[in-house]
Amino acid sequence: MYGNPYDDYGKSAYDIGDPSWKDDEYLAWILNEGEEESHTVEKKHVVTRDDKFYLNLLQGRIAQSIVEGVFRKFNFEVFPYGYESYLTNVIKSLSKSDSNHIVKKLRCTPDCIIYDTNLNEANLLEIKSTRLDIDRYWLSVDDLNKYKTHWPEALLTILHTPTFSLFFKVISDLDTKSKVTEESGFHGNDSRMGYRFDLNTEFESIETYFASIPNDSCVEYLEKIKIRIKDTFNFR
């Protein structure tokens, strides 16, 4: 899902920008090509808890809309499933500590269900976006453990925004045995530990899991989405 909205999955507007940005300015930021990762944070305003929550929520919804659009293009039924889809106001009230199994499972619910009507098969998608280098995607240890505990069968789906590429991996198949944990480096006070993944070699293309969607056709349609978004919002 967009992730716990109070956590940073990949970089968010909170990490590098001004929380007073309008939605279209923020969309321009996540679609900006080739901008390198920055470890220096310049904040023009104080970022409140609600600022961070809604900016992360916005980033997640943009990525989810793009991924859902791809599957709808190729005749899949798509059903929002993540708790952000229906319980935005409740999310902020769910305590991270002292919660039972149901609350913990709810907090990491995948974003959507996609259904292939021809094969009568469904998949859960946990969708994230990132601007990090393709060979340096970072996922926190805590988040990965939660996913493996509660939703191991879900497909972790990564939208790499600089290239507008999609990568997929069944969560239970993510191998961390040979990996060394490291800090995210997103901003100075982020000391969370996580794993780095090479999306090109450790994740799969859409065709690997969905044979009815040719890779070339997916790439072509993603490029059309990217052009349409930039033209609609008059981005350079």
Predicted model pTM: 0.76
The mean per-residue pLDDT over the stretch 151-160 comes to: 97
The predicted-structure confidence for 207-234, as pLDDT tens digits, reads as follows: 999 999 999 999 999 999 999 988 888 7
- One-letter amino acid at 168 equals F
What long-range pairs does 217-226 form, CB within 8 A, spacing at least 24? 217/74, 218/70, 218/74, 218/166, 219/165, 221/70, 221/73, 222/66, 222/70, 222/164, 222/165, 222/166, 223/164, 225/66, 225/69, 225/70, 225/164, 226/31, 226/164
The predicted-structure confidence for 21-79, as pLDDT tens digits, reads as follows: 444 555 555 555 434 443 333 444 555 666 777 777 787 788 999 999 999 999 999 99
Q: Which domains does the chain have, with CATH numbers?
A: 13-232 (3.40.1350.10)
